[in-house]
Amino acid sequence: MSKVTLIATGGTIASVEDSAGGPVNAGLAGDRLLDSLHDRPEGITVDVENFQAVGSYALDLDTVYRLCVRISEVLADPDVDGVVVTHGTDTMEETAFLADLLVASDKPVVFTGAQRHAGQPDTDGPRNLSDALRCAAAPALRGLGAVILFEGEIHAARDVSKVHTSRVDTFRSPGLGKLGEVDGARVLVYRHPAERVQLSTPRLDETVELMALGLGSRPGFLDYCRENGAAGVVISAFGRGNAPKGFADAAERLIGAGIPVVIASRCAEGRTEPVYGRDSGGTTLVGVGCVLAGTLSAVKARLLLSILIGKGADMDEIRTVFAGYGG
């Protein structure tokens, strides 16, 4: 008999309409989610913890840090084989990535949720939860880090992104693909993710800012960050890691003030690389001291930088860690 702990954090899977046709809000406890299962996996006992029932768009870094600490505490129990976290889809990939970095156990940590709320007759929550419980109890998932289970597919936290606002197959790992899948009662693993980075920190720095670039974006926001207490900045830049005119000079001012600047790409696939020069091409940005995010998306690069600043890492350590992602 396997033992899995379900940690319920709200999200669409735990949400219903406040009134007919009204707004949808989280509120169902973990026990209610278990009761909704049409196909409860055999051979698995489930303990339930209700962590915080909110939509994932309302979570903050302090709350998610406490969640990662709690996951670690639960997995330290030798009788627990794995953890399932029910979570809203809006920021699931971010919380899962933090768990991948901060939870040291090799036991499975499986995030799941729903795109159709619990009051809809075709809600996808019960199926996802059943599959996630199977994954959390599966020896094949040991050592793979945190994963997202959705619509029968298993995705590595490092690679996965939400790619559709409403479809039930919203999670994809662009350019890499899923780790495996659940087929009936079978958990199948087809590939292993890249080697995990494991970090520890007493806190996450909540003052790391994120800027998304568009054609003709102006760099004034970087000066605003420098003047208003930002501890770091991540830029979601073009292509290989390029920015409009003026960004290299603005980034250099931040870096001169001791504020790290990380350059990610807004592209869904590929990695940053210093190729282009002149004003604010990737080579110029690296030349003034920016750090490239490699294959990490901007939202995940921000979380990694939040950990590193929270633990007091210097620029050399920041560069070394991001280099591990191809930066």
CATH number of 286's domain: 3.40.50.40
**Per-residue model confidence (pLDDT) at position 102:** 98
For residue 108, being part of any structural domain is answered with yes
Q: Once rounded to an integer, what is the mean pLDDT over residues 213-242?
A: 97
User: Does one domain contain both 119 and 247?
Assistant: no
User: Does one domain contain both 178 and 80?
Assistant: yes
Q: How confident is the model at residue 53 (pLDDT cuts 50, 70, 90)?
A: confident
Number of domains in the chain: 2
**Per-residue model confidence (pLDDT) at position 296:** 97
d(CA 147, CA 110): 5
Q: Which neighbouring-strand residues pair with 69?
A: none
Site of tokens 């600043």: 309
d(CA 82, CA 5): 7
d(CA 305, CA 142): 27
Return mean pLDDT, the chain.
Answer: 95
The answer to which of 116-125, 129-138, 146-155, 214-223 has the lowest mean pLDDT is 116-125
User: Does one domain contain both 31 and 107?
Assistant: yes
User: Does one domain contain both 48 and 154?
Assistant: yes
Q: With 80 as the cut, is the pLDDT of residue 34 above it?
A: yes
Cα atoms found within 13 Å of the Cα of residue 32, Cβ hemisphere only:
15
**Per-residue model confidence (pLDDT) at position 169:** 95
Tens-place pLDDT, residues 106-129: 999 999 999 998 889 999 999 999
User: Does one domain contain both 101 and 225?
Assistant: no
Q: What is the DSSP string of 185-199?
A: TEEEE---PSPPP--
For residue 213, being part of any structural domain is answered with yes
CATH classification at residue 137: 3.40.50.1170
Domain boundary among 160, 189, 218: 189
For residue 97, being part of any structural domain is answered with yes
**Active site positions, annotated:** 12, 89
For residue 157, being part of any structural domain is answered with yes
Helices within the chain (DSSP H only):
30-35, 61-75, 92-102, 125-136, 220-227, 247-256, 282-287, 298-310, 315-323
Cα atoms found within 13 Å of the Cα of residue 122, Cβ hemisphere only:
2
Contacts of 141 (CB under 8 A, 6+ apart): 82, 108, 110, 135, 147, 154, 187, 189
d(CA 85, CA 56): 12
Q: With 80 as the cut, is the pLDDT of residue 21 above it?
A: no
Phi first, then psi, for residue 82 (nearest 5°) are: -175, 170
Query: Containing domain of residue 50, as a range?
Result: 2-189
Strand, coil or helix: what is 120?
coil
User: Does one domain contain both 185 and 233?
Assistant: no
For 85, the token pair is: 């976290």
User: Does one domain contain both 38 and 136?
Assistant: yes
User: Does one domain contain both 118 and 244?
Assistant: no
Q: How confident is the model at residue 27 (pLDDT cuts 50, 70, 90)?
A: confident
For residue 106, being part of any structural domain is answered with yes
User: Does one domain contain both 166 and 259?
Assistant: no
Percent of the chain whose pLDDT exceeds 70: 100
For residue 194, being part of any structural domain is answered with no
User: Does one domain contain both 212 and 184?
Assistant: no
Q: With 80 as the cut, is the pLDDT of residue 40 above it?
A: yes
For residue 116, being part of any structural domain is answered with yes
For residue 265, being part of any structural domain is answered with yes
**Per-residue model confidence (pLDDT) at position 198:** 95
User: Does one domain contain both 164 and 228?
Assistant: no
Q: Which neighbouring-strand residues pair with 154?
A: 149, 180
User: Does one domain contain both 10 and 126?
Assistant: yes
